[in-house]
Amino acid sequence: MEKKVAKIIFLDFDGVLNTEYHQRQLQFEGKIWQDKHGASFDPEAVKQLQAIVDKTHADIVIESSWKYLGLEAMQEMWQDRQLPGRVIDITPSVVSDSLLLSADLEQTSPSALHCKGAEIASWLYDNNIQDAPYAIIDDEYVILESQLPHLVLTNPYDGLTEELAMRAIGILNRQ
């Protein structure tokens, strides 16, 4: 029997699910723009995340600054808002000792150790799934060069679009 390999979505919120378009629309219509968890997510972007989860069965690791509220708060928000997929973890706020011990520090710039890309690499290393299919969905280019093939770069105005969702599906399904 073939072992099922975990698929991971490293997910940012602002500029991905929390879009400038949606926030402006809510303000224009005089609607409430946030709930107890923070800014409301764009239903169109959430629909695209649903498509990714449906077609890949990937789990979600939060790499957004919202992670500082803690894993439990992220999972509670996911449940309260009935968002697609399963949040299994948040990326570490610092690079783990185990990753540092395995890195060639002479070839690594200090700034690279303090970015989302290093936190993602640390999470993959700590969970011993460096070879797992993963996609990084973010509106900022804050990754390691080796992670570029995994990046789905969004526009903060539109967030996660159908075209970008299809790219994420291809990355996760290795197509």
CATH of the domain at 119: 3.40.50
Structure confidence by residue, pLDDT tens digits, 44-87: 999 999 999 999 999 999 999 999 999 999 999 999 999 999 99
Q: Domain for residue 161, yes or no?
A: yes
Provide the 10 A C-beta neighbour count for residue 3: 5
Provide the 10 A C-beta neighbour count for residue 1: 3
Query: In the numeric block, which tokens belong to residue 42?
Result: 């764009």
Amino acid 51: pLDDT:
99
115 or 14: which carries more pLDDT confidence?
A: 14
Nearest to 91 by CA among 57, 115, 111, 109: 115
Amino acid 15: pLDDT:
98
Domain total in the chain: 1
Q: Domain for residue 2, yes or no?
A: no
Q: Is the pLDDT of residue 2 over 50?
A: no
Q: What's the predicted TM-score (pTM) here?
A: 0.87
For the chain, give the percent of residues with pLDDT over 70.
Answer: 86
* Cα(66)–Cα(63) distance, integer angstroms: 8
Structural domain range at position 116: 8-172
Q: Domain for residue 123, yes or no?
A: yes
Interior angle at CA 112, CA 118 and CA 7, nearest 5? 25
